[in-house]
Amino acid sequence: MQYGLVHVAAGDLLRAEIASGSENGRRAREYMEQGQLVPDEIVVMMVKERLLQPDSKEKGWLLDGYPRSSSQAIALKELGFKPDLFILLEVPEEILVERVVGRRLDPITGKIYHLKYSRPETQEIVSRLTQRFDDTEEKVKLRLNTHHQNVEAVLSMYEDITIKVDGSVNKEDVFTQIDGALTQLLDKRQATSESLAA
């Protein structure tokens, strides 16, 4: 990944837990099927363990899909993890639903495609694509309801470090916006450390 950060996605950790066949995975799936938040005692522990791995500590991390509630944000803070930036991706709901419903995964390479916006390179890949069990129109609506119930409480905890990004444009243009904000942050940090060293 550009910037060398470790991508820690709460949903990916949960799907790996389901695939492992554990009791926590079985419990998590029941909530995920309803588009609800998986209980904190499962999610917080998994995210904490991942962030404590040597690669996350060394390289830094990009936390994706966490925190999704104020209690998760508080837990993160209490564990001593302090984000530098909070990226709020704003996407109109009809675009969001279309992106989710057309999303497919190549189980061999792990690459994510979209049937309309990011077509697989070969027919061979097309034939092996899989879909997440919660990427249906019905389930995404449930997930959006959960999001609306929690988003304000989460945002209020990160007001001072939030940047808003227009997520409705294509992925290259979304990246340009995020890249600009990260470059600015890194420049500022470099300037501070130089002035401290002077």
Minimal distance, residue 151 CB to ligand AMP, in Å: 12
Residue 32 interacting with ligand AMP (CB under 6 A): yes
Residue 67: asked if its preceding bond is cis (omega within 30°), the reply is yes
Separation of alpha carbons 92 and 197, rounded Å: 45
Minimal distance, residue 47 CB to ligand AMP, in Å: 7
Residue 103 interacting with ligand AMP (CB under 6 A): no
> Candidates 6-14, 111-119, 156-164, 180-188 — which segment interacts with ligand AMP by CB under 6 A?
6-14
> Candidates 8-16, 74-82, 152-160, 172-180 — which segment interacts with ligand AMP by CB under 6 A?
8-16
Minimal distance, residue 70 CB to ligand AMP, in Å: 12
Q: What is each CA distance from 144 to 71, 91, 105, 151, 186, in whole angstroms?
A: 19, 12, 21, 10, 33
Helical ranges in the chain per DSSP H: 10-20, 23-33, 40-51, 54-59, 70-78, 93-101, 123-128, 137-156, 171-197
Residue 75 interacting with ligand AMP (CB under 6 A): no
